[in-house]
Structure formats: C-alpha cells, structure tokens
Amino acid sequence: MDTLNILLMGFISIVIVNNLVFTKFLGICPYLGVSGRIDMAFGMGMAVTFVVTLSGTLTWLIDHLILMGTPLEVTRYVCFILVIAGAVQLVEMYLRKFFPSLYESFGIFLPLITTNCAILGMCLFINLWGIESLLEAVVLSFGAGIGFTMAICIMAGIRENLNMADVPKCLKGAPITLITAGILAMAFMGFAGMIR
Amino acid sequence: MTGKTEVQNTAYRQTLLAGLWRENPVFRLLLGMCPTLAVTAAVKPAFTMGCCVIFVLVCSNIIISLMRDLLKPHLRILMFTLTIATFVTIADLFLKAFVPEMSETLGPYVPLIIVNCIIICRAEACASKNGIVISIVDAVGMGAGFTVTLCTLASIRELLSTGKIFEMQLMPEAFVPWAAMSMPVGAFITLGLMLGLVNKITNKEA
C-alpha cells in the first residue's frame, strides 16, 4: 500500500506539478515545432512517451548495475545518450514497419527525438533525485512522457484557435507561442501546493 | 597574395558577426531554447552556461572539422553526439571541481548541453563541411551570440525579479520585485516578447 502510494504521488507530481515542459523547460524545441496540429502533437507525444519510458528504464538499469561505484561513472552522459539514440532508432524502425502513415507525417521530427532534452533530462533527473527502485523510475519516466503529451496537446488545441486570432504581426509564430506557454505555466503553478 | 588574405579575413569577420545578430542562434534560428529559458533567472548562471557552451562548441567543432572526411552519412549524428558528450563531461567535471555552488545551481542543465541543438546544428552546418579555422571562428561567433542573448535575458529577469544585478541595487527602494519573473512564467513571457521585438526591428530593416 505504501509503495503504491509513493508511486501514485510520484506519477501525479511528474505529470502535473513538476511538468517537464512548464517547470523544467525540457523539450521546448519539439514543443514549438510540432504543436501546430493536434493529431501530430498527439503522435509526437506518444513517441516521446514510449522513448522516455524505455530509455528511463534502461539508463536506470545501466546506472545502477554497471556504472555506480566504479570509475566508469565519468562515462555516464556518453552511455545515456547512446541508449537514447538506440531507443529512438528502434521506435523509428517499428513505426516505419507498422504505421507508415504516421511515420510519413513525423518526417524529420522522429530522429530529432534523440536530441529532445525532455528524454535526456528525465534520465538525468532520475539520477539526480536518487531514485532507488526500478519500479519508481519506470513510473516516473512514463509520467514524464504523459506530462509532455498533455502539455503539447493543450498547446496544439490553443494554437489551432490562435490561427483565427488577430495577433500583431511581429508576434506571429514562435513569440506568441512562448507567451501562451508562459500563461499556461502560470496556470500550472496553481498545482504547486498540491504535493509537498 | 594580400588580396587572398583580405578575402579570407572578410569571410572570417562575416562568420563571426553572423552568430551575433544575423544568424543569432536563439532569436533567429530558435535553437537551444531549453537552457535559454532554464538558466536565465540570474545573470551569473547564465554567463557560466554561456561559457560552457562556447567551450563545448569550439572543442567539438575542432574535432568534427578534423574528422570530417571520415564521417559516414548514417553514423554522422551519432559521432557528433558522442564527441559533444565527451566535452560536456569535461566541462561538467570542471565546474564540479572548481565552482561547486554554480554546478549545483545549473544542475542537470550542464549535461543537457549535449542535446543543445545549437551545437549539433553547427557541427552539421559548418564543421562537417569546412576547414578548422573557419569552424573555430564560427563556433566562437555562435557561442558569443548565445552568451550575449542569455545574459541580456537574464539581466532583464534578474532586474525585475529582485531589483538587483550582481548584488548591485539598481531599482529604487520603492520598487516591488516581480516574483513571477524568476519563475517559469517570467522566462516564457520575457523570451516571447524579446523575440517579438527582434522581429519588429528586423522587419523595419528589411
């Protein structure tokens, strides 16, 4: 019961209270790039969720079973980025085989997930927070993906309506998206008191 | 002979200046947004971050420029990332050893330089095609542009959120600090407005 409680709290906190996009500024590049249409945003979110869960788990395992306590610890970042690159490669092959239409619509963004800060950032945060159990690491990285998907879908919904709004010319595109994200971040600040 | 060096010098100057304004990584290319937003709550961490990025950018551009003939197309990005990761590790360990409190403040954002798009973009667009000197010049220009942008953004945010810059009181006593400016909200909105301002200036120039 206690474990379940911790896991649930961790999940909610990473999805809402410590949302990667709004509080840690991770994954801003795809956030600005892909949030134009809601279906693409959702697809991107799903791809990120999958990769982040996979690489979060794998990096936790590598970190705890191989690197920790040995001089190899200095190669941590190199190992992490290799694992992520591998996981992205796997997702890419899987999508090309089974969902060719989704693969087409991702275009350049799929390989770009490798350089998505949300994924490496999550692996680093798991290391930084000193998460001790594998289960917790899995739940947290899955939650991070869900949080990212939620953030990017909310944004895509707003941007679809923003197309019809009368935005000053110099603010069109990225600037107004950032300002909208700021207001959203303010809304998410309201959740801050929810979990210690 | 002198004519050729003249041409070369102009090319170098052009490349150097491009990073500062014409192709400013943050304002024009919208690259490296994560650190831009995350470390700009105060000027000091922003400056440290800028220096780290310059170091990593210069070193990785040198290495990539040296091995540009050996690169295979499908392994290119992987080689870039590994080179960058190595130098980021060096920078991170250096910070941890010599300025531990700064390393604490920056936290995971130093290792996140690995996935900073600026560095991969420069490796791909410049270092993998050009000679070593022009790659270094390009790296310094881009890095400087990034650092200047970061510091500008950080000074605006620090000034409005605390009324001070570098412990120096700049705002009058009666100024009420805007706490929101040091939070994520401030980062997003300041950057958004600055991008808008840059667009406005550019449109006038054109």
Per-window interface: B 121-180 vs A, CB < 8 A: 180
DSSP state, residue A173: T
Instruction: Give the ipTM.
Output: 0.81
Helix, strand counts (H, E) of chain B: 8, 2
- Comparing CB atoms, the residue among A120, A171, A175 nearest residue B114 is A120
Q: Residues B195-206: pLDDT tens digits? A: 888 888 887 766
Query: CB neighbours of A45 closer than 8 A, spacing ≥ 6?
Result: A145, A148, A149, A150, A152, A153
pLDDT of B54: 92
Rounded to the nearest 5°, which phi and psi values hold at B99? Answer: -130, 70
CA distance B73 to B62: 19
A77 and B196: CB-CB below 8 Å?
A: no
Owner of token pair 């870039």: B80
| B-chain residues near A170 (CB < 8 A) | 196-197, 199-200, 203
Domain boundaries defined on chain A = 26-189
> What is the residue-averaged pLDDT of chain A?
84
Rounded Cα distance between A141 and A62, Å, is 15
Q: Which of B95, B113, B195 to mutate to test the interface with A (most CBs of A within 10 A)?
A: B195
Question: Beta partners for A137?
Answer: none
Measure the CA–CA gap between A48 and A56, rounded to whole angstroms. Answer: 11
Q: Which of A26, A75, A181 sits opposite B188 (nearest CB)?
A: A181
Query: What tens digit of pLDDT does each residue of A22-59 get?
Result: 888 888 877 777 777 888 788 888 888 888 898 899 99
Q: What confidence score (pLDDT) does residue B82 get? A: 87
pLDDT band at residue B1 under the 50/70/90 scheme: very low
Q: How far is CA B112 from CA A39, A60, A68, A138, B129, in A?
A: 28, 17, 20, 21, 25
Task: Name the 3-class secondary structure at B77.
Answer: helix
Host H or E run for residue A185: helix A174-189
pLDDT attached to residue A109: 63
Q: What is the mean pLDDT of residues B95-117?
A: 87
Q: Tokens representing B188?
A: 């997003």
- Banded pLDDT at A1 (limits 50, 70, 90): low
Mutate to test the interface with B, among A28, A112, A176, A189 (most CBs of B within 10 A): A28
Q: Which member of B30, B115, B184 has the closest CB to residue A185?
A: B184
- Beta-carbon neighbour count of residue A182 at 10 Å? 24
Q: Is the minimum CB–CB distance between B117 and chain A shorter than 8 Å? A: yes
Chain B residues close to A171, C-beta within 8 Å: 192, 196, 199
Q: Which of B82, B93, B117 sits opposite A115 (nearest CB)?
A: B117
Confidence of residue A107 (pLDDT cuts 50, 70, 90): low
Contact, A11 vs A139, CB < 8 A?
yes
Give yes or no for a contact between B7 and B129, defined as CB atoms under 8 angstroms apart: no
pLDDT tens for B27-55 read: 777 777 777 888 888 888 899 999 999 99
- Which tokens is B138 given? 């390009």
| Closest approach of A194 to chain B, Cα-based (Å) | 18
Residues 6 or more apart in contact with residue A10 via CB below 8 angstroms: A136, A139, A140, A143
- Smallest CA–CA distance, residue A11 to chain B, in Å, is 21
In tens, the pLDDT along B140-154 reads: 988 998 898 899 888
